[in-house]
């Protein structure tokens, strides 16, 4: 693979507390210059909060209204990390805010880049188990409700396209594989 | 779930040929206003270009330099749709640009939202088969090389975290399931 491109100029175009848009002017190997927008992001956590219902593992899914899609999305609890926040502190906080439960155990399910073409966001995936009620109030701009679903059913939805949220598809299939269900 | 938020004001902050950043001022149910950045995106295709090597299905993966990550990423061929471009026309074009092959057959593997918290991007996933050499020159700002790998090996990497690109994890696991390998 050729050498990466040279960054001729860079500026921040917009930011809020969560992330910012940086615009780079790049010099291509052929000498031409192009502008490229890059989202600078502190990263996020994605949680698979799991509890047993009889012999069946069940996951606390969310139905969350997403303004970008103008629709409610079936997805796992997840949230943006503060720029200096510890990953597991963030995981416990988001779990309590979004589901009302804390977990005694977090098992890493690897990491993913949701959109490496435009963003440096890294998502850390965790299986969250040994749940106990311990709610925190959630952000005023988040509209969501908790919807517990069987992991077995979620695996089918992840595979056949019934779940469209990418991070949730990855985390559900990795959790099911970790639990030796696939 | 409560009613969605009211959009009090909206403006475009930055754009290039591929996507644009819209910033909305939202009125929350509690009366407070917040600003929210939303990426308006025309959508993208993700391809699993598959050929048989003896009895073993093999996938044309890419090693692509991603300026956002300042790293080369192992990922599937993929690309942004033109705002008015037909999805399958886009799929064939990106496949030819990035791998040098065209496919006679595209099988849908469902759709995903890579980042519904910040973007309305929808990705359409396709299994691409019956490949034949028919290259198109690729974009000058793309640095990539083709790396054929066994699908069996990719399934392991998708599950254990060895592949970090979210769209590639989803498309590989859906392709393997479609081919009854999992």
Rounded to whole angstroms, what are the CA distances from B128 to A38, B108, B131?
30, 9, 7
In this prediction the pTM is 0.95
Contacts of A74 in chain B (CB under 8 A): none
Mean pLDDT value across residues B144-157? 97
Q: What is the pLDDT of residue B182?
A: 84
What end-to-end distance do the CA atoms of chain B give, in Å? 36
pLDDT-derived band of residue A4, with 50, 70 and 90 as boundaries?
Answer: low
Round the average pLDDT of chain A to a whole number and report it.
Answer: 94
Q: What is the pLDDT of residue B4?
A: 66
pLDDT higher than 80, residue A169: yes
In this structure, is the dihedral angle defined by the CA atoms of residues A83, A87, A90 and A95, taken in order, positive or negative? positive
Asked if A85 has any chain B CB less than 8 Å from its own CB, the reply is no
User: Quick check: B143 and A4 CB within 8 A?
Assistant: yes
User: Quick check: B111 and A73 CB within 8 A?
Assistant: no
Asked if A150 has any chain B CB less than 8 Å from its own CB, the reply is no
Q: pLDDT (tens digit, 9 = 90+) per residue, A32-49?
A: 888 999 999 999 999 999
CA distance B25 to chain A (A): 11
The number of residues making up chain A comes to 182
Give percent of chain B with pLDDT exceeding 90: 84
CA distance B174 to chain A (A): 5
| pLDDT, greater one: B86 or A27 | B86
Backbone angles phi, psi at A11, to 5 degrees: -150, 155
A6: Cβ contacts below 8 Å, ≥ 6 apart: A26, A27
Is there a contact between B130 and B105 (Cβ–Cβ < 8 Å)? yes
Q: What is the pLDDT of residue A3?
A: 55
Residue A146 region by backbone torsions, left for phi larger than 0, else alpha for psi between -120 and 50, else beta: beta
Asked if B66 has any chain A CB less than 8 Å from its own CB, the reply is yes
Selection from B88, B67, B59 nearest residue B178 by Cα: B59
A36, A161, A167: residue with CB nearest B110:
A161
Scored b (16 or more CB within 10 A) or e, A9-31 reads: eeeeebeeebbbbbbbebeeeee
pLDDT-derived band of residue B1, with 50, 70 and 90 as boundaries?
Answer: low
Q: pLDDT (tens digit, 9 = 90+) per residue, A64-87?
A: 999 899 999 999 999 999 999 999
Selection from B87, B134, B126, B92 nearest residue B110 by Cα: B126
ipTM above 0.90, yes or no: yes
A16, A69, A75: residue with CB nearest B37:
A16
Q: What is the pLDDT of residue B138?
A: 83
User: Quick check: A114 and B114 CB within 8 A?
Assistant: yes
Q: What is the pLDDT of residue B34?
A: 86
Asked if B84 has any chain A CB less than 8 Å from its own CB, the reply is no
pLDDT higher than 80, residue A29: no
Mean pLDDT value across residues B12-29? 91
- What is the CATH topology of the domain spanning A44-178? Nucleoside Triphosphate Pyrophosphohydrolase (3.90.79)
Which of 93-122 (A) contact B at CB < 8 A?
A: 109-121
pLDDT-derived band of residue A24, with 50, 70 and 90 as boundaries?
Answer: very high
Asked if A137 has any chain B CB less than 8 Å from its own CB, the reply is no
User: Quick check: A161 and B34 CB within 8 A?
Assistant: no
pLDDT-derived band of residue A1, with 50, 70 and 90 as boundaries?
Answer: low
The domain locations on chain B are 6-40, 44-178
């Amino acid at each position: 693979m050729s050498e990466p491109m040279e960054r001729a100029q860079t500026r921040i175009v917009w930011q809020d507390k969560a992330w910012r848009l940086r615009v780079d002017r790049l010099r291509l190997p052929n000498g031409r210059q192009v502008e490229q927008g890059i989202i600078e992001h502190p990263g996020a956590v994605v949680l698979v909060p799991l509890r047993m219902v009889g012999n069946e593992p069940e996951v606390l899914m969310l139905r969350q209204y997403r303004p970008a899609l103008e629709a409610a999305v079936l997805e796992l609890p997840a949230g943006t990390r503060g720029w200096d926040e510890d990953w597991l502190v963030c995981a416990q906080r988001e779990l309590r805010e979004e589901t009302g439960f804390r977990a005694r155990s977090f098992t890493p399910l690897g990491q993913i880049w949701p959109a490496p073409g435009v963003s440096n966001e890294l998502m850390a995936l965790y299986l969250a188990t040994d749940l106990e009620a311990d709610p925190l109030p959630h952000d005023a701009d988040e509209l969501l409700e908790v919807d517990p679903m069987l992991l077995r059913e979620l695996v089918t939805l992840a595979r056949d396209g019934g779940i469209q949220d990418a991070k949730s598809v990855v985390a559900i299939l990795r959790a099911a594989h970790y639990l030796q269900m696939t």
